[in-house]
Every structure is written in C-alpha cells, then in structure tokens.
Amino acid sequence: MTPGHVFVVNGRLEKLGWDAVVIPTDAPFSVRSQWRAAAGLSESDDWRALRPDGWGRGSVGVAARRNLPRAEVWFVDVVAHSPHDAARAARRAVESVARHAPERLRANAHDAGRDLPLVAVPVLGTGGGGHGASRSALLHSLVAELGTAAENESVDVAIVAVSRSDYSALQQVRRDAGVAPALPRDLAQRARQLAAPAARGELALFLGAGVSMGAGLPSWAGLLTSLTAVPEVQATLGGIDPGGLSSLEQAELLQVVLDEHHDPRALGRHVARIIEAADARPSLTHALLAGLCVREAVTTNYDRLYEDAVRAAAPAPDSGDPHDVLSVLPWGRVQGDRPWLLKMHGDVHYPETIVLSRSSFVGYDSRWKPVGSILQSLMMTRHLLVVGASMTDENVLRFAYEVAGLREELARQVPAHRQAGVLGTVLSLEHAPAFERLWQGRFSVVPTAPDEDRRPLTDEASEEEKDARRRRAARSLALFLDTLALHAEGEAEHLLDGRYAPARGGDQAVLIERLRGAAADARRLATHDPAWQPVSDSLARFGAFEGPAEHARR
C-alpha cells in the first residue's frame, strides 16, 4: 500500500479538485459562511440540510446530503482543549474519510486521474476552533497528525492555507520537522536546486496540456475525439472518418468542413464548449505551481485553471475585482509587480483565437509572432520550467531552437561571453533517454516518474496498466513540485504576523510589535500622502497586517 503524503497549498478549498473535503464546525453545528462554496451550498441554502446524523460534541461525519458529484463533504468538531487535541480531531476526520467507503473513494480518485484519493482540509482549529493564538503549536501538531493519517490510510492530504502567512509558516514547520516527500534522492536534489532560482524570482513557467489533464480536461487526442463526437461536426463530416490523419491534419479537416458549412470561428466555439462543459477545478499541480508566486508564465492551454489557482492564492485586491491580481496576455498589459500569464494558443473566452488546426500553426507567425517573441525573451532571461508539455509543439520547438542557436552563435563569436547554463528544465512524466539526449545542453530533462516505471511499457500492456502508470507519474510530479515549493518559500511572509510572534519571544517579539505598529502608521499616512504607500506595501509583504489588530493597530 502506497503511503500518502501531506501537501501544502495556498488557495481556497473551492478552487481545488479533491475527492473529499473536511469542513470545521462545532458541537451545535455552527458552520461559517466562508465554507459554502466548498460544500456546494448557495447563499440561500441552510447548513442544517447537511448536518450528519447523530451530530454532537467531538463528532466527525459525512454530510447528510450529497451536494457534489463524485466528491464527499465531511464535517469535524474542532473545538478542543489544546492545539494538539484539535490536530488529533483533524487526524480522526481524515481516518474516517479513508475508512468510510474506501473502494468508492479510490475509484473516484482514479477516474479523476489521481493515484491516491486527495482529502482537502483548511488550517483546522485556527478560527472557531479557538487556537488561533497558539497558531505555531497548532501547525506543528497538524503537520504531524495529518502526516500519520496520510501514511497509515494511503490517502493524500492537502492543507489549503487561504493566507500567504499561514502557507509560509506551514512550509517552515515542515522544514523544521524534516518532512520530505517520498522521492528518490536525486529527484529531491533536483527539486531543491530549482527552488533557489524560484526564491530569487528567476524562474518562469511554461505549462502544457499535461497540467490540465490532471484536472480532468482532455488531452489533444481526447479533444479531437470529443470534437468529432459533436452532432453538428459529425453532420458536416458527412461520414468521413478523420482517424487516419495526424492530429494536426484531423483538426485541419474539422476546420475546413466547419468553415464550409458555418463560419471560421465554429471550431473554436466547439472547443470552448467542450472545455467549459467539463466544469473542472484547478488540480493539485495547478495549486502547487500557483504557490510558487512566479511572476511570468506562458501556456498553450485554452482553459483558465492556472488563472483560477493564482487568483485563489492571491490576497483580495483593493479594487475587489479578482481579475486585478493577474494580467492575461496578449489581451491585458503587464502592470507593476502583478504576475502575468501569456496564452500562446488562445483562450476559451475568446474562441476565435484558439490555435488547433494545421493552418493555424502554419500561419502562427503572421498572426501571433510577437507572442512567440515574449516566450523567447523568457528563454533568454529566465530559467524556464516546462511542466506538462511534451515539447512537440512545432512553434515552441522553433522558438527554442532559434534561441539555442543564437546563444551558440554568440558563444562562437565571443567565447569569453559564453552564457552558462541551459534555457530551462523540462519535467518529463516518463523516462526517455533519447529525448534527454536530444535536448542536452539546451534544456535539462528531469524524469519525475517513479523508479518502478523506468522501463517502457510493452506493446501488450493493457489500458488499465497505462492508466495506472499515468496516475503514478502525475503523483510523482506533484511530489516533486511540493518539494520545490517547500524549499522555495522562506520565512519572510509570516515574519511580522502577530499570530506567530509569541512563538519567537524575547527581542524578536518586541521588534515585531514595533514594526507592525510602524506598518499601521504608514498605511494611515498613505491615505493622505502617497509617499508612504511603498513603505506600507513593503511591510505588508512580511505579514505585518496579518493577525491580531492590537498588534498592527489597523
């Protein structure tokens, strides 16, 4: 039985794909409204409809009514005498989830592409549980108790921290406790090496379809299959079977016949409908990547799952508009320190921009050349982390070869100015020596598949075996990204959080209180004199406005 693992993500429960969620409450079953979306309740729904049978003090139970398809909602009474007791209640909740209907739980996880069931929990016990003032002790106990439950019950647990300060503190707790995902030593070392440029802000992301497949969206081949199954498309094909063509040519055929019978935007609209009909949530991989707070990212995906994950991890903007935390190019503009995402192949909200057919790839330069130039600039100036992409996209290949060729030419012309290092790192879901050799000197290729899957599958391998290997590879990738995130996050985000000051004690606690007071003064002065705003913003990045108001005077 595979031992489970405790992941830590920054975000919101309702913006993560999971198999079960644990929601905190108390003996009278008082549940805070912030958990409504996670439980599938509207603002007008009554929590009592979900109250488990026989609910009382110390209870753990599954919702009386199933609100969400293929996912379970659980409740736990987290009111306890001590932080450790609250953490033990969290452990009992995860154990109850795992033992309630294990076959169904595991089957649902496999259907979603997960090797082990994923149980999502908030930072239990810090709100109505009453142990917010003992936050540091509580987090240490939570990490230990949930780790034991995950390992013994063979389920993965995601602690979802809404606040960046709590996320930072949880990572610090895990480092102090020596918690490490079950990765081979060389793979863990590669993750730690990537954490250094991530922490310095030198990492950029390139995301392919493999990231969104983990959220239940189709692969390229799966998307084409879904398109040909659309009645309107079948009617326009007139009985023609496109199966003998390559993927690009299949898409081109669909583009041609739809153009003849409808309009040039019809293919994009069908693609958008298929993706939106999946009603997917960000995967664990999306959430782990969003937690890295990478400022620059590029994707060939049409969906908006990475955007959702980034917005879920970000504090609410002053405008109140969640879209203000991320700029999406090429439609938006880069603004200040705001992170941005470049959509290379279009977006479901703009179906006419979707790049899928052979002609759209051939004509890419005439329509989207400046977009490709942005990707090339990242290859020149950042370390590009490639996740979920097979590196077979013809345009991406051309951009990479052009940059690599330029660097090689410059090195020949001026050997003293030879640029050290590679363009980036490709996280590969399988061991492929030929692929690694092909990119040697240009990209580092890190196979994240577990050791047991190093050998290629035989031609006789069943679909079940192939699916199982894909699930194991996806989980191994998540463990790699969790290790990267663990070591990329420092203590800065919760350094001035008043909720963690008591654990530091002495001179540190005194200095924290002074700086929090200074932050509150700077924020107040900034309302009249904008010169103080950068001071307020700088201290806010260290958690100065998190925690008890008496410390921050806000």
What DSSP line would sit under 307-360, residue for residue?
Answer: HHHHHHHSPPPTTS-GGGG-EEETTS---TT--EEEETT-BTTBGGG---SHHH
- Both 353 and 405 in one domain: the answer is yes
Residue 186, domain member (yes or no): no
Mean pLDDT of 217-226: 89
Q: Is the peptide bond before 330 cis (omega within 30 degrees of 0)?
A: yes
Q: 151, 179, 207: which is the final residue of a domain?
A: 179
Alpha-carbon separation of residue 15 from 11, 262, 422, 528 (angstroms): 7, 36, 34, 37
Q: Whole-number mean pLDDT of the chain?
A: 89
Residue whose token pair is 């996912």: 71
Residue 271, domain member (yes or no): yes
- Both 344 and 479 in one domain: the answer is yes
Whether 129 has a pLDDT exceeding 70, the answer reads no
For residues 288 and 478, is the Cβ–Cβ distance under 8 A?
A: yes
- Both 47 and 140 in one domain: the answer is yes
Residue whose token pair is 């081949």: 221
For the ranges 36-50, 146-160, 417-431, the maximum mean pLDDT occurs at 146-160
Distance of CA 260 to the CA centre of its chain: 40
* CATH code, domain carrying 73: 3.40.220.10
Q: 179, 207, 242: which is the final residue of a domain?
A: 179
- Both 468 and 505 in one domain: the answer is no
- Both 285 and 273 in one domain: the answer is no
Alpha-carbon separation of residue 327 from 153, 283, 307 (angstroms): 41, 21, 9
> Residue 300 belongs to what domain range?
199-216+281-488
- Both 328 and 421 in one domain: the answer is yes
* Token pair of 193 as six digits: 């090496």
Q: Check the CA dihedral 168-172-175-179 and report its sign.
A: negative
Residue 339, domain member (yes or no): yes
Of the candidates 479, 456, 476, the residue with the CA atom closest to the CA atom of residue 466: 456
Q: How confident is the model at residue 418 (pLDDT cuts 50, 70, 90)?
A: low
pLDDT of residue 264: 76
Higher pLDDT, 193 or 392: 193
Number of domains forming the structure of the chain: 4
- Both 140 and 226 in one domain: the answer is no
Residue 439, domain member (yes or no): yes
Q: What is the pLDDT of residues 295-327, one digit of tens each?
A: 999 999 999 999 999 999 987 765 556 568 899
Residue 344, domain member (yes or no): yes
* CATH code, domain carrying 362: 3.40.50.1220
Q: How confident is the model at residue 377 (pLDDT cuts 50, 70, 90)?
A: very high
pLDDT of residue 127: 74
Number of CB atoms found within 10 A of residue 217's CB: 21
- Both 298 and 259 in one domain: the answer is no
pLDDT of residue 319: 59
Residue 285, domain member (yes or no): yes
Q: 232, 253, 277: which is the final residue of a domain?
A: 277
Residue whose token pair is 């583009």: 255
- Both 62 and 107 in one domain: the answer is yes
Residue 188, domain member (yes or no): no
What DSSP line would sit under 452-485, residue for residue?
Answer: GG-SPPPTT--HHHHHHHHHHHHHHHHHHHHHHH
- Both 236 and 317 in one domain: the answer is no
pLDDT of residue 168: 93
Tell me the whole-structure pTM to 2 decimals. Answer: 0.92
pLDDT of residue 550: 44
Q: How confident is the model at residue 149 (pLDDT cuts 50, 70, 90)?
A: very high
- Both 508 and 393 in one domain: the answer is no
For the ranges 203-207, 255-259, 316-320, the maximum mean pLDDT occurs at 203-207
Whether 417 has a pLDDT exceeding 70, the answer reads no
Residue 191, domain member (yes or no): no
Q: What is the pLDDT of residues 448-488, one digit of tens each?
A: 988 888 787 777 888 888 888 889 989 999 999 999 999 99
- Both 375 and 421 in one domain: the answer is yes
pLDDT of residue 551: 40
Whether 553 has a pLDDT exceeding 80, the answer reads no
pLDDT of residue 386: 96
For residues 374 and 206, is the Cβ–Cβ distance under 8 A?
A: no
Q: What are phi and psi of 31, to 5 degrees?
A: -120, 130
